[in-house]
């Protein structure tokens, strides 16, 4: 179920504003013909003593700790090598963004944005890189780092889901609140979080391209044995998402074109009510009389989290967290 939480007053959308936050502090990179001189300046120039926030300065690589909140688990070695070659030729064109660490840390600076550039600079043999120093509290540093990584276009679905979950957990945000701050629809976050309900094998099949994001959403709401069986079948037979949905419904004993079975001894008027309710919400509905007179339960079946959301919306409720 979606995480509940008290709405936070007038939170800014940091997701869409992070690039402007960083860019406003970065000086324009020199033209390509000047990059050779700029690169040597970056190598030779010692760190400025005053370290003014928002102004590019050269920082030794050995003084920068990697981003501790980096969601990406794998870096493409070929792409890193290409970037390293470019840096050897042209230098680091876009400064990294760093913040000062507190006392007692192993290195004086921690990376906020620019993980690939940092790694490629090391491969290129640079001793120092241009950086923009941001003054930030620990909370701001964490939030900026998480948002910068969430906004990466090359995160795979599992890494993106883990980044969303980490962001929500660390700041006690609901899906709706996280979506507001990131400028992302709540449904997008919810659909990614469902991937974390997949087994490790199913997640790997998704990463390997054997399953699509649509397949993953269908499988996420299933019990583990059924999830694995249908995932293997979908991958082996190249099933469409719709075909997988039909298999999932069939596995639950549900047929969309068949009316609910009449329970033995149930009053005809209750059966008629059940049929009407089933047609109204698009799933099986059972009216179960209670032990006391004029009491009972209305039981609505759902077959996956997408189905649950659809039924809730059909009933007029709003999932806002």
Q: Which residues are catalytic?
A: 115
22 Cβ neighbours under 8 A, 6+ residues apart: 97, 113, 132, 148
Alpha-carbon span 187 to 313, nearest angstrom? 12
DSSP 76: -
Residue pair 80/123 in contact by the 8 Å Cβ criterion: yes
- Kind and range of the H or E run holding 109: strand 109-113
Cα distance from N-terminal residue to C-terminal residue, the chain: 9
Residue pair 107/65 in contact by the 8 Å Cβ criterion: yes
Residue pair 15/150 in contact by the 8 Å Cβ criterion: yes
CA distances from 185 to 15, 178, 191, 234 (A): 12, 9, 10, 28
Residue 65, classified by CB atoms within 10 Å of its CB into exposed (0-12), middle (13-18) or buried (19+), is middle
């Amino acid at each position: 179920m979606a995480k509940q939480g008290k709405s936070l007053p007038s939170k800014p959308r940091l997701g869409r504003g992070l690039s402007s936050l960083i860019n406003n502090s970065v000086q324009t990179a020199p033209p390509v013909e000047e990059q050779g001189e700029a690169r040597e300046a970056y190598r030779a120039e010692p760190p400025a003593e005053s370290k003014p926030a928002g102004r590019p300065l050269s920082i030794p690589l050995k003084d920068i700790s990697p981003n501790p909140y980096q969601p990406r688990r794998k870096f493409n070695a070929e792409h890193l090598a290409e970037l390293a070659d470019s840096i050897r030729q042209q230098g680091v064109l876009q400064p990294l963004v760093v913040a000062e660490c507190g006392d007692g840390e192993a290195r004086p600076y921690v990376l906020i944005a620019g993980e690939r550039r940092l790694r490629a600079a090391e491969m290129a043999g640079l001793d120092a890189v241009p950086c923009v120093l941001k003054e930030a509290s620990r909370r701001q540093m964490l939030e900026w780092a998480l948002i910068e990584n969430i906004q990466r276009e090359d995160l795979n679905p599992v890494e993106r889901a883990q980044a969303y979950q980490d962001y929500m957990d660390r700041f006690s945000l609901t899906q709706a609140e996280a979506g507001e701050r990131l400028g992302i629809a709540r449904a997008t976050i919810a659909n990614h979080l469902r991937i974390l309900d997949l087994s490790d094998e199913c997640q790997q099949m998704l990463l390997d391209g054997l399953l699509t994001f649509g397949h993953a959403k269908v499988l996420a709401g299933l019990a583990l044995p059924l999830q694995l069986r249908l995932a293997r079948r979908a991958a082996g037979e190249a099933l469409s998402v719709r075909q997988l949905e039909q298999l999932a419904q069939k596995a639950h004993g549900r047929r969309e074109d068949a009316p609910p079975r009449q329970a033995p001894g149930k009053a005809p008027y209750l059966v008629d009510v059940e049929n009407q309710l089933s047609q109204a919400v698009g799933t099986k509905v059972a009216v179960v009389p209670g032990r006391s007179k004029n009491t009972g339960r209305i039981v609505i079946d759902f077959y996956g989290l997408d189905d649950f959301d659809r039924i809730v919306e059909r009933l007029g409720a709003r999932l806002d967290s």
